[in-house]
A and B are shown apart, each in its own frame.
Chain A
């Protein structure tokens, strides 16, 4: 067993363990923190794949923003007391079946794609400059559309937040 493989195993355990903990812990806050651990592990996986930019962006966006927003939402909406009911709902086999089906479809899709068999070119590192060039040259339309959608979402959120209850 080589060192990179060992590192990959450790990180996989971290990601899967975090995801499982996020699902199974009673306390919603604990779940959110476990999710943050899982996302951090995913960022580390990106780093081992020589994708520095994606890894750091993953930490910045998911651990820094998304996890915090989830935590904030939990605190603002309802009591963060542990739930009384059991973690597994009664219909859990159906959920598991759906999860397996989705996994199967995704895996089949990935394996059939032309990229499946190709080996990654050795010694190539995704530099931030390269990512930027591709984003601004080839993928500029999707980028702009994404930006537009995000702006619309931001304005929408502000409009919803503006509506205040006026009570005399």
Chain B
């Protein structure tokens, strides 16, 4: 690999340090570029969905728009509200961005391309993700702004609620692989049965787990339709309303990196990591597959954002506690069943039937209780 060749050039004493620096620089460069490209793709894609052109002035097809945006946010005035809590206000964007990049470090982006292969990699991923909530709260509270505080409260309520099914749906993949190490989870999904890759998503519990994980990931990264914490029409921009200039850019970066990280985790846990979708395509470098899958997930996120309207707060909570959580628990049970049942089509059908039955029951319960479709009963407003 290129990295090993470069490392060999350095003197022996500093090789471990040099190797780490190269890995870190590579990850930051790749994901920052991906962030820039995603912002353009998102604006273009949303524009297409809404029947208008996206950005098209800077560079060919507006491709240089992120450079212009970056320069703009660097040169913009950096305001701190007079009433703000200076230290907390200053620290909040950092507390968001640094853990987001840390979370990337355990993702296997290709064969032998995990920056740090930890024994508890999945646990590490969720542990650093916990800092996001703290950062959002710090930003919202320290701004001393009613809208930002409301946004922070909404964000925390949403993130706590969706973190539970997020982790529970990830547990199924950990159970099957028998390890918390991301490398071993990917290794457990290698190989093919009758031409179909052994990815976890091809099993009933894997499919259910993947869908649950994806919905929770959307909620965790505060993206539409779960963008209540920053609903423009309700609370303007939520918790980062008072941030301007480069700090705002950091929030923007942190949110997107967080989205990439959680998508990468979904790929690692359920979509076979860097494994190729067919045996004949194994010759293609493994990181191509990881980034292709990442691209598909990002496109899906953009598509959903352009398609679905924002949820209401009560709908959000009902969905989390009355549907996602029981479904994730049922999925755990089914995964256990799958583990100890005889392999074969019967196992597939039985597990699928249990999950489908659970889905129908829970979804009907949610609809009949008026959880999602019903009129909201207001207690404090008319």
Total residue contacts A-B, CB cutoff 8 A: 66
Q: Does A107 contact B (CB under 8 A)?
A: no
**B300: min CB distance to chain A, Å:** 27
Q: Does B115 contact A (CB under 8 A)?
A: no
Interface size, chain A (Cβ < 8 Å): 24
Query: Are B137 and A59 in contact, with the CB atoms below 8 A?
Result: no
Q: Does A24 contact B (CB under 8 A)?
A: no
Query: Are B179 and A71 in contact, with the CB atoms below 8 A?
Result: no
Q: A71-B137, A72-B156 are in contact. Are A60 and B130 (CB under 8 A)?
A: yes
Query: Are B88 and A33 in contact, with the CB atoms below 8 A?
Result: yes
Q: Does B319 contact A (CB under 8 A)?
A: no
Query: Which of chain A's residues have a CB closer than 8 A to the CB of B128?
Result: 59
Complex: chain B residue closest to A68, CB-CB: B133
Query: Which of chain A's residues have a CB closer than 8 A to the CB of B129?
Result: 64
Query: Which of chain B's residues have a CB closer than 8 A to the CB of A27?
Result: 85
B 78-126 contacts with A by CB, 8 A = 85, 88, 118-120, 123-124, 126
Q: From DSSP, what is the main secondary structure of chain A's interface residues?
A: helix
Bound Cα distance A125, B180 (Å): 15
Q: From DSSP, what is the main secondary structure of chain B's interface residues?
A: helix
Q: Does A152 contact B (CB under 8 A)?
A: no
Query: Are A57 and B123 in contact, with the CB atoms below 8 A?
Result: yes
Q: Does A63 contact B (CB under 8 A)?
A: yes
Bound Cα distance A67, B134 (Å): 8
The contact of B153 among A64, A65, A75, by CB within 8 Å, is: A75
A 145-165 contacts with B by CB, 8 A = none
Q: Does B333 contact A (CB under 8 A)?
A: no
Q: A33-B88, A129-B179 are in contact. Are A64 and B127 (CB under 8 A)?
A: yes
**A77: min CB distance to chain B, Å:** 13
**B177: min CB distance to chain A, Å:** 11
Query: Which of chain A's residues have a CB closer than 8 A to the CB of B153?
Result: 72, 75
Q: A56-B127, A128-B180 are in contact. Are A63 and B120 (CB under 8 A)?
A: no
Per-residue B-contact encoding for A25-62, CB less than 8 Å = 1, 0 else: 00101100100100000000000000011001101100
Query: Which of chain A's residues have a CB closer than 8 A to the CB of B156?
Result: 68, 71-72
**B34: min CB distance to chain A, Å:** 26
Query: Which of chain A's residues have a CB closer than 8 A to the CB of B127?
Result: 56-57, 59-60, 63-64
Query: Are B119 and A127 in contact, with the CB atoms below 8 A?
Result: yes
Bound Cα distance A57, B120 (Å): 10
B 154-201 contacts with A by CB, 8 A = 156, 160, 163, 178-180
Query: Are B119 and A60 in contact, with the CB atoms below 8 A?
Result: no
Q: A59-B128, A60-B130, A64-B133 are in contact. Are A52 and B120 (CB under 8 A)?
A: yes
Question: Shortest 10 CB-CB distances between A and B: which pairs?
Answer: A64-B130, A59-B127, A56-B123, A60-B127, A56-B127, A128-B180, A52-B120, A128-B120, A56-B120, A68-B133
Report 28 cross-chain contacts, Cβ distance below 8 Å, ordered by A residue. Answer: A27-B85, A33-B134, A52-B120, A53-B123, A56-B123, A56-B124, A59-B128, A59-B130, A60-B126, A60-B130, A63-B127, A63-B131, A64-B129, A64-B130, A64-B163, A65-B130, A67-B134, A68-B130, A68-B133, A68-B137, A71-B137, A72-B153, A72-B156, A75-B149, A75-B153, A128-B120, A128-B123, A129-B179
